[in-house]
Amino acid sequence: MTKPVYKHPTFVIDKKYYRTDLKRYWLELTIDNNSLENLLVIMKNPSRATLDVSDKTVFNVCNYVHKNRKNIKQLKNVGKITILNLIPHFETYSKELKKLGEEINDLDNLEHIRKYTSENSKVIIAWGNHPSGLFKEYELIKNNVLQILKENRNEVFYVEKLSKYGNPKHAQVWSYNNDLLEYK
């Protein structure tokens, strides 16, 4: 069965990214030129979103932010959404990431996260649970990113709930009426 093709929402007025053939390090989506805040959303890994085509998760993030800008104060002044990932490797099915083993630890990716989080204060973490077979590697990356957020004194949020493993709800399954909560 083929996956549906998602276009970027019509309110996305500009798109930029930095990628290689196998990895996407960041994706910036401008939703309002009159609002100056950049909201960072850190997810698990990129699926298929490019400048031309979105994917379900990126589409969902954009809509969640756009639809809640009036009723969630932390989203009120967001003009740009930057998507970052714990693992920069393109893979639609996260269980396939196991093939990468320790290669999922990407120091360049951590530097991109460090740069963006040092320049922007608000971050939503939305990476979901561990990919199958990569618990130890995922914990290492996750803890490194949480340490970077702590060092940069970011305002960190998650949507609705944490899993029994303490991971934030994956952005692909956010509902527009889910609460945005402070991560402590």
Class of 14-182 in CATH: alpha beta
Cα Rg of the chain, angstroms:
15
Is residue 39 a contact partner of residue 65, using CB atoms and an 8 Å limit? yes
Distance from C-alpha of 140 to C-alpha of 135, rounded to nearest angstrom? 9
The one-letter code for the residue type at 159 is V
Determine the pLDDT at residue 103: 78
Distance from C-alpha of 117 to C-alpha of 123, rounded to nearest angstrom? 8
Distance from C-alpha of 27 to C-alpha of 86, rounded to nearest angstrom? 13
Domain ranges of the chain: 14-182
pLDDT (tens, 9 = 90+) of the chain, 184 residues, equals: 666 778 999 999 999 999 999 999 999 999 999 999 999 999 999 988 889 999 999 999 999 999 999 999 999 999 999 999 999 998 877 777 878 777 788 999 999 999 999 999 999 999 999 888 888 899 999 999 999 999 999 999 999 999 998 999 999 999 999 999 999 8
Is residue 18 a contact partner of residue 72, using CB atoms and an 8 Å limit? no
